[in-house]
Amino acid sequence: MLCFLFNLLYEITVQMYQVNIESYRLFIFRYTFLIACGIYFGFRKNMIFSTPLYKQLRWCLPAVIVGFLYLYVTTYTAYREKIFQYWTSTSMLVAFWCVPFLFGFIILIEHIRFQIPILPILGKASYHIFFVQMLYYQYYYKDILQFFAGQSVLLMALLSVLICTAAGVAFYFLLTPVERYLSRFCVQVVDKLRQRWPDE
């Protein structure tokens, strides 16, 4: 609930101060509620299997309907959103529409009979992939679109996913050793400072 209110307040603030759309796109705050939903269901995944289906549908179905209606009204009608004016199709209210897909993915992972080594890596590199995606669409997508001019939308979408994922994972593996070194360095600095100025 707090994440929902924070995300809503952020969106209102963006419109009040007329934040540039490109700057808005790069801020992760617009995904606060969506990320919170993912974390919640990740920690409460046992609830999905222990709760009867009809009880899940009592709150899941209304959420899906709200998300679907919001997407339909803002995409296929003349209605113009007042609060979520930027990137409307990926706004916080769309998180309601994602609920069944999230449930389905969790159930699929739990029932899968073999391990997919790449999944844990993608999970650890998720923020790096997100960061690369933001830079990709800001600086490189138009050039790639011109290079592959005339190709289908599906092909371009798959190519973009492949590029962002591969570059994000590579960025994760390159940055991880640096982060570990900096972490050890900071610990050593703190230890030396404590030795020099011990607590009285």
Q: How confident is the model at residue 91 (pLDDT cuts 50, 70, 90)?
A: confident
pLDDT over 90 (residue 62):
no
Predicted local confidence at residue 79, as pLDDT: 82
Percentage of residues of the chain with pLDDT beyond 70: 86
Q: Give whole-number Cα distances, 74 to 16, 39, 117, 136, in Å.
A: 21, 27, 39, 26
pLDDT over 70 (residue 4):
yes
Q: How confident is the model at residue 75 (pLDDT cuts 50, 70, 90)?
A: confident
Q: How confident is the model at residue 48 (pLDDT cuts 50, 70, 90)?
A: low
pLDDT over 60 (residue 113):
no
Of 117-121, 159-163, 196-200, the one with minimum mean pLDDT is 196-200
- For residues 136 and 71, is the Cβ–Cβ distance under 8 A? no
- Cβ count within 10 A of residue 58: 10
pLDDT digits (tens, 9 = 90+) for 131-185: 899 889 888 888 888 888 787 888 888 999 999 999 999 999 999 999 899 989 8
Say how far residue 149 (Cα) sits from the centre of its chain. Answer: 29
